[in-house]
Structure 1
Amino acid sequence: MSTLAEILAALAVVIGGIFTLVGSYGLVKLDKPMSRLHAPTKAGTLGVGSLLLASMLYSAARGQVSLHELLIMAFLFVTAPVSAHFIAKVHIHRDHTAQELPVPPEDNVWATKNGMADQDDKDKA
């Protein structure tokens, strides 16, 4: 195995470990739910992505090319931000009952909290 590949794999493991450690610390120490959501999302994508990259480098240096890690990384990079977005969306709308939520607009625009404020203004008028 080449020394350069070992150094790169070790560097990727250290970077992944740092991201995972910082994300875990942020999850414990941050008090607001939206802040707490940000820390593990970064740890999940960058930390685990770096660890998977280290595994790919190590396998390639040993002559056993493995693309399983690449598929896992692609799946992780696609699903983690989407799930974080949906969790944030639920957090925004969690204090409202189904009767308070605005009717979805007819023009295919996403329903947001600003849309709820606009609906409240219409109800007051």
Structure 2
Amino acid sequence: MGVIADWLGAACLVAGAVLALAAGIGVLRFPDALSRMHAATKPQVLGVLLLLLGIALRLRTMPDLGMVLLVAIFQLATAPVAAQMIGRAAYRSGRLDRSLLDADELAERGQGGGQVG
């Protein structure tokens, strides 16, 4: 059982590292703020959760599992809020191309920002 958990943990660590790398490359390569925000949150969060799962499978002690669980909860709680704030700031400052938006609900409410960038 321990060998199988070690191999699964190693696979999760590698998969998480690849997703975190993809998120970093996406932040550098994507052209606009909304695409970068997507790259900074979705694959990065899944990558961190896979890394934490890999760590949990390798360590397997209760204090370590408790710390891993705390890190996972904080990651899941803060990443969506940060992405929302980054998206709102980009929208209000006009640093995004509004033609790329499918629906512009903030403009309908009169909360629009600066010029189209």
Would you call these one fold, judging by a TM-score over 0.5?
A: yes
- Other-structure match for 1:120: none
Q: Secondary structure at the match of 1:31?
A: coil
Q: How many residues align?
A: 100
C-alpha distance after superposition, 1:32-53 (max 9, x if no partner): 1110111111243111111111
C-alpha distance after superposition, 1:51-106 (max 9, x if no partner): 1111111111xxx22210111101101110111011101111114xxxxxxxxxxx
Q: Which ranges in structure 2 are unaligned for 5 or more consecutive residues? A: 95-104, 112-117
TM-score (norm 1): 0.72
TM-score (norm 2): 0.77
Greater fraction of residues in helix: 2
In structure 1, distance between residues paired with 2:42 and 2:19: 7
- Percent of aligned pairs with the same residue? 30
In structure 2, distance between residues paired with 1:114 and 1:89: 15
In structure 1, distance between residues paired with 2:79 and 2:34: 15
Higher relative contact order (CA 8 A, sep 6+): 2
Q: Which ranges in structure 1 are unaligned for 5 or more consecutive residues? A: 96-110, 118-125
- Other-structure match for 2:6: 6
